[in-house]
Amino acid sequence: MATLEVNVVAADREVWVGEAKRVIARTLDGEIGVLPGHEPVLGVVADGEARILTTGEDTVRVKADGGFLSVENNRVIIAADQAELL
């Protein structure tokens, strides 16, 4: 089964890194859901919550403010101005 490699970083530190089945994040254009095999995309992160469903079936919730979201080759990067686990 394909998975996503997810990196969530704030301007000053790494917040969360791991493998996931799904990522849902808020962008200026609305919520985006990312599954393995998703087309490449670059978006501006809107203030709010991102939800990451890990391969272990846990949900990681992250508050992210500003920054961008990048998806390419089953890799998701949320690079936020500020981010913290909820």
- pLDDT tens-place string over residues 2-59: 999 999 999 999 999 999 999 999 999 999 999 999 999 999 999 999 999 999 999 9
Task: Write down the pTM of the prediction.
Answer: 0.93
Domain count, the chain: 1
Contacting residues for 14 by C-beta, under 8 A, at least 6 apart: 7, 8
Task: Provide the terminal-to-terminal Cα distance of the chain, rounded to the nearest Å.
Answer: 28
Contacting residues for 46 by C-beta, under 8 A, at least 6 apart: 26, 27, 28
Residue 39, domain CATH: 2.60.15.10
Provide the domain limits for residue 73: 4-85
pLDDT-based confidence at residue 68 (cuts at 50, 70, 90): very high
